[in-house]
Amino acid sequence: MKCSALVGMMVVAGFRTAAADKPVLKPVDPCGAQGLKLGTAKPLAAWKIPDNCTPKSISDKRILKTQKDLDEQFDCTKGAKVGVDSANQSIVAVSWNQSPAAIALDAWDDGKTITLVTRFRQTCPKDPRPMPMQTARWYAAPANADRAFAEATCTVPTKCN
């Protein structure tokens, strides 16, 4: 009896170890590079406009690659600088018509194309009527980034009240 109980415990213990060694599959983020089928694209970090600088109006998408581009895009108070070393970094400027259901605009760079991804929440029955808002987004990119632009969307699961 003692022997069979010990064998049974060894089998169960072995089974637990084997099950614990199996990889746990995580769900694919519908708004990540894999979910959007963007290959090896990496997310671009948001860039914060420095204090004492104000952006001039932008109407589309552009990449600010030189100091001249930066000076033309920003008005800074006397003595203030945009603070971007164009030898090491470019700034991506995006005019964005934000829908009420949009929660974020992400930028993904694969070295050839910057894909702007609008993250939408699912709409709920008592949502207000759409009233889009014009805004701008800024991202840090590699120096001398010469890229095309593409757009994509994804939906983030939402719970309605």
What does the pLDDT read at residue 143? 93
Q: In the chain, what are the domain boundaries?
A: 28-156
Question: What pLDDT digit, counting tens, does each position of 45-94 carry?
Answer: 999 998 899 999 888 999 999 999 999 999 999 878 888 998 999 999 99
Band (5; pLDDT cuts 50, 70, 90): very low
Q: Over 60: is that where the pLDDT of 97 sits?
A: yes
Residue whose structure tokens are 């400027």: 93
Greater pLDDT, 1 or 142: 142
What does the pLDDT read at residue 116? 97
3-state helix, strand, coil in the chain (%, to 5): 15, 35, 45
pTM over 0.85: no
What does the pLDDT read at residue 3? 42
Q: Over 60: is that where the pLDDT of 15 sits?
A: no
- Return all residues near 88 (Cβ < 8 A) that are at least 6 apart: 143
Question: What pLDDT digit, counting tens, does each position of 131-149 carry?
Answer: 788 899 999 999 988 999 9
Q: How far apart are the first and last CA of the chain?
A: 59
- Which residue type, as a one-letter code, is found at position 38? L
Band (19; pLDDT cuts 50, 70, 90): low
What does the pLDDT read at residue 8? 38
What is the torsion angle, in degrees rounded to the nearest 10, for the CA atoms of residue 153, residue 154, residue 158 and residue 160? 40
